[in-house]
């Protein structure tokens, strides 16, 4: 059984930090099999990868970009604003990879979710300027500072909606989901301190709010092995990519075989 023909394929990419490199592996597996999404929705790192995909960048370019972009470079630290790192400093690096600072310039419709910190609501961006909404969607609190767009402060889209499938519902009739916010079973040794506990609770809350949408995808790639990779551990980039590629390749080949 292959993928259905004459379907509008929607691609949903979740948040999840460095684990989001698995999304790039999924894209590589799709491209090798001639599978192309018609429309994309993403949150946090999923929004960044989705924008590069909609822009036509190769998977090699995407991977190299995340390897080359500094996370904790001294001149990126936030001064006089909340957060450890000044998110706006990453704008020029990302802009260098995009053909234009515009949703309309992309080859595919893209929906980017961010969290409005002032109203406490989610916001979807899909037209106009592109780079600031992307940075806002990926501004993981409390590490990255909020991003101001049109006078409003925004933070990580995963806070409110880590798997924004609903924004594709009106135009797509077949859904491929890549979820890298994994919550597999843990042992007592994995919950030894406050940071581990906080991360586990946050992860469970995010997953609980999205699990029905995740389960409703026609094809879902959600490798459990990703949980061993820290969300800000740049040493895990290649491993996350490989995990995503292997899982997606197996899943697509099983469906198409």
User: Is residue 59 reached through a cis peptide bond, with omega within 30 degrees of 0 on the bond before it?
Assistant: no
The verdict on whether 233 is a catalytic residue reads no
Catalytic residue selected from 44, 137, 145, 249? 44
Catalytic residue selected from 145, 156, 178, 181? 156
Q: What is the DSSP letter of 148?
A: E
Please list the residues that pair with 113 across neighbouring strands: 43, 124
Burial annotation 221-230 (CB, 10 A radius, 16+ → b, else e) = bbbebbbebe
Determine the Cα angle at 184 with ends 69 and 230, to 5°: 20
Identify which of 122, 199, 120 has the alpha carbon closest to the alpha carbon of residue 163: 122
The verdict on whether 253 is a catalytic residue reads no
> What are the catalytic residues?
44, 156
């Amino acid at each position: 059984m292959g993928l259905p023909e004459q379907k509008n394929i929607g691609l949903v990419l979740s948040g999840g930090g460095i684990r989001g490199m698995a999304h790039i592996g999924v894209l590589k597996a799709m491209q090798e099999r001639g599978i192309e999404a018609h429309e994309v929705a993403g949150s946090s790192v999923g929004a960044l990868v989705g924008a590069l995909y909609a822009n036509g960048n190769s998977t090699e370019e995407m991977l190299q970009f995340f390897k080359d972009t500094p996370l904790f470079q001294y001149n990126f630290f936030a001064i006089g604003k909340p957060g450890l790192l000044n998110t706006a400093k990453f704008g020029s690096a990302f802009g260098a990879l995009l053909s234009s600072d515009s949703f309309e310039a992309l080859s595919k419709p893209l929906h980017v979710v961010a969290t409005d910190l002032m109203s406490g609501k989610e916001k979807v961006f899909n037209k106009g300027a592109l780079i600031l909404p992307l940075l806002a969607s990926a501004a993981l609190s409390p590490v990255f500072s909020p991003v101001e767009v049109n006078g409003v402060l925004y933070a990580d889209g995963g806070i409110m909606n880590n798997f924004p499938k609903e924004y594709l519902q009106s135009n797509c009739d077949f859904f491929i989901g890549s979820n890298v916010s994994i919550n597999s079973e843990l042992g007592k040794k994995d919950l030894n301190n406050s940071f581990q506990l906080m991360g586990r609770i946050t992860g469970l809350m995010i997953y609980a709010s999205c699990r029905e949408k995740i389960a409703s995808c026609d094809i879902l790639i959600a490798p459990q092995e990703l949980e061993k990779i820290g969300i800000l551990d740049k040493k895990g980039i290649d491993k996350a990519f490989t995990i995503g590629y292997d899982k997606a390749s197996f899943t697509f080949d099983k469906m198409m075989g």
